[in-house]
Amino acid sequence: MKTLSNCYVFLFDGYSDWEPALSMYGMSCFTDVNIITFSLDGKPVTSGGKLLVQPQASLEQALTANIDLLILPGGAPMEQGANTEVLPLVQQLLEKQKTIAAICGATALLAQHGFLDNIPHTSNHAEVLKQLAPAYKGADYYENSPAVTSPHIITASGTAMVAFAKAIFTHFDLLQNDKLKFWFSFFDGSNAGTEMGATQPFHFFYRRYKTNYAGMLELVRTAIKVVYQQAVEADLEICGGPQWHYHGFDGQPDTVFTLDIGLPVTEVKTVAAPWQCETLPPFKCVSMQHHGTWDLLANTYGKLFTGMEMLGLQMNGYTREQYLQYNFEHPEQNITNVQIGVI
């Protein structure tokens, strides 16, 4: 495993501020990696997005620093041949078998000076790279991919901020960190079944209960039978598995909350009380699939709560459980989609 203690990020006037942002935020918030920004002279720079940034160090200081990863953002100056002053640092780090991560225009800088001639790499486009770097001889190694990792150089296109961050995190095994992995899964979708966004509206046939925790447990394996029977009697076409919707449930045994138990159906019909059938509107939520027995659902909720806290999301008091697959004889095969509503 490659060691990553110190990451230096090169900043310059006109640098594309979004390109290193995700990588920097992930490492800063969820790991103990030390992030140091530097410019050629250590003086403030203005990014392409007009952010005035005060770097922490100068190139002179970086040349004597202990650096494990150097991130080179893109930007028009890079494509136009500027910032060659940083190349001795690039060469020095490669000789020490450290890692260079270049994105967008920074790949052109590396190509202009032969660093990509003999390694797998990518950029914004193969032909564009040839135009920006007339001396470039690495066309045979070019890969049409958002991000490419070679032993010591990571490259990415300017639209591949997420792939760039993932390549860095993967290269240094940082995704073994559960908090970083969960947070990052919302950007790249790598955490199967974990999502953040608004659901689609759907038609829902259900019965509403006012209950507490003990009363809720009495409804397991009984209430849904009645829902199926009533849906058939109402001549409704069922189009999905059972769902439990919680309003105001806080996990405390004595708290009385509202619980809707029902089924998605293909249309809305008038039904007799106490049954209801309506179209539920889009639902903004964070969700995760729980695989296994329901007595371990608390673990999945805990992961979601942790991720929401890290992301600064506030709950709205409405939660859904969608039973995508359930097997009372083999509950370890259950698949439950948990959706926690957010503001």
Domains and CATH numbers, the chain: 6-183 (3.40.50.880), 197-342 (3.20.80.10)
Residue 117: C-alpha distances to residues 70, 82, 135, 230 (Å): 19, 20, 9, 69
Predicted confidence (pLDDT) per residue in 170-206, tens digit = 999 999 887 788 788 878 765 555 677 788 999 999 9
CB 6 within 8 A of CB 68: yes
Residues 6+ apart with CB under 8 A from 76: 14, 48, 105
The H or E element containing residue 93 is: helix 87-95
Predicted confidence (pLDDT) per residue in 124-155, tens digit = 999 999 999 999 999 999 999 999 999 999 99
> 179-192 burial, b if ≥16 CB within 10 A, otherwise e?
ebbbbbbbeeeebe
In the predicted model, what is the mean pLDDT of residues 286-304? 89
Predicted confidence (pLDDT) per residue in 320-341, tens digit = 999 999 998 999 999 999 999 9
d(CA 176, CA 171): 11
d(CA 120, CA 151): 9
* Degrees to nearest 5, angle at CA 84 with 83 and 89: 105
What 3-state class would DSSP assign to 263? strand
| Report field, pTM of the whole predicted structure over 0.85 | no
Question: What residue has token string 């000076």?
Answer: 113
Q: Closest Cα to residue 271, out of 199, 216, 201, 203?
A: 203
State the pLDDT at residue 174: 95
d(CA 112, CA 79): 9
Predicted confidence (pLDDT) per residue in 305-323, tens digit = 877 877 778 899 999 999 9
Q: Closest Cα to residue 164, out of 315, 311, 326, 26?
A: 26
d(CA 109, CA 100): 12
Residues 6+ apart with CB under 8 A from 302: none
